[in-house]
Amino acid sequence: MVQIKGSAIQETINQVKRRSGDDSLKKILNLLDDGARKVFESEIFASSWYPLDVFTRFLEVEIKLLAAGNEEMVTRGSEAVIERQLRGIYKAFVKLGSPEFVIKRIAAVHATYFQGVPIEVQLPARGQAIVRYTGFEKQHRIMGFAIIGFFRKALEISGAKDVKLHFATPIDEGKPYSELSISWS
């Protein structure tokens, strides 16, 4: 079973509260199935692992309720998260790092947020990268929007230009792996 770190869930809940308030969070929780609602209504521990299926259901309901189904809002939300995480000294490391360094670093960080999803980075040519995630299942497809946001914002901060990202092998294809294709100048 693929799992996600509790800190990612905490960040998402806090983001909903900041952006839309406690009432919106309650509406999202009321639209979840009983199993998912129980997870979100209990105390979420930053260092504990939770089923990714539950988290993706939360994101899907959030997008339907608060963003009229616009899944690009998941990308924007993950950009806001990484921007907050990269304040201060960490931002300097990203700014000083090459795009290749940033891609490897984000992939390494993602590996600490997902359990059951090995991640590998290939750098086939200058200005190109392929990030392979093994283990996501079709129902985790919304995670692709979040992943794109993390990489796009970090590369932007690092000074990469003309950044283009897309899933050459999308999560929702149901293959054993998905591949994010990244290019920049």
The predicted pLDDT at position 98 comes to 87
Looking at residue 35, its amino acid is G
Q: What is the mean pLDDT of the chain?
A: 92
Residues 78 and 125: their CA atoms lie apart, in Å, by 27
The predicted pLDDT at position 89 comes to 54
Please name the residues in contact with 3: beta carbons below 8 A apart, sequence gap of 6 or more. Answer: 49, 50, 51, 52, 114, 115, 116
pTM over 0.85? The answer is yes
The predicted pLDDT at position 95 comes to 63
The predicted pLDDT at position 165 comes to 97
- CATH 3.90.1520.10 assigned to domain 91-183? The reply is yes
Please name the residues in contact with 158: beta carbons below 8 A apart, sequence gap of 6 or more. Answer: 94, 95, 97, 98, 99, 101, 102
Tokens 């990030």 — which residue?
131
The predicted pLDDT at position 88 comes to 59
pLDDT under 50: residue ranges of the chain: none
The predicted pLDDT at position 151 comes to 93
Residues 18 and 141: their CA atoms lie apart, in Å, by 25
Where are the chain's structural domains? 3-70, 91-183
Residues 110 and 120: their CA atoms lie apart, in Å, by 11
